[in-house]
Amino acid sequence: MSEFTDYLQELLRDFGPIQAKRMFGGYGIYHQGLMFALIADDTLYLKADDQNRGEFTQLGLPAFCYVKQGKEVTMSYYQAPADMLEEPEQAIYWARLAYAAALRARPLKK
């Protein structure tokens, strides 16, 4: 596990336990079995949806994009604000926003 994921686990200690799982050259960040963030190129991205996307766009934060078969693909994850990584209270606020979006996005059980 990278130093960044170790730091993130410490930063989000009061949010609750998180797990970092390797995926596609980065990490998926999970809480209670649900992915709410990802790390790519040592940059943290948080889950967004229609209810919280405005918080990211107001700050001018970019969405996570990658190129697949020559086409740019944008995912529903936005770069975390810089102050999140420096202030535990902000880290918990943003983690809760992202986790709530992940909860809303999970499929309904039948």
Cβ atoms of 9 and 89 closer than 8 Å: no
Sheet with 19-23: strands ordered across: 19-23, 26-31, 34-40, 43-47, 71-79, 63-68
Give the span between the Cα atoms of 48 and 75, in whole angstroms. 9
Six-digit token string for 76 = 């529903």
pTM of the complete model: 0.91
Considering the chain, what is the average pLDDT of its residues? 92
Read off the pLDDT of residues 1-24 as tens digits, 9 standing for 90 and up: 578 888 999 999 999 999 999 988
Read off the pLDDT of residues 53-73 as tens digits, 9 standing for 90 and up: 999 999 999 999 988 899 998
The pLDDT of residue 110 is 57
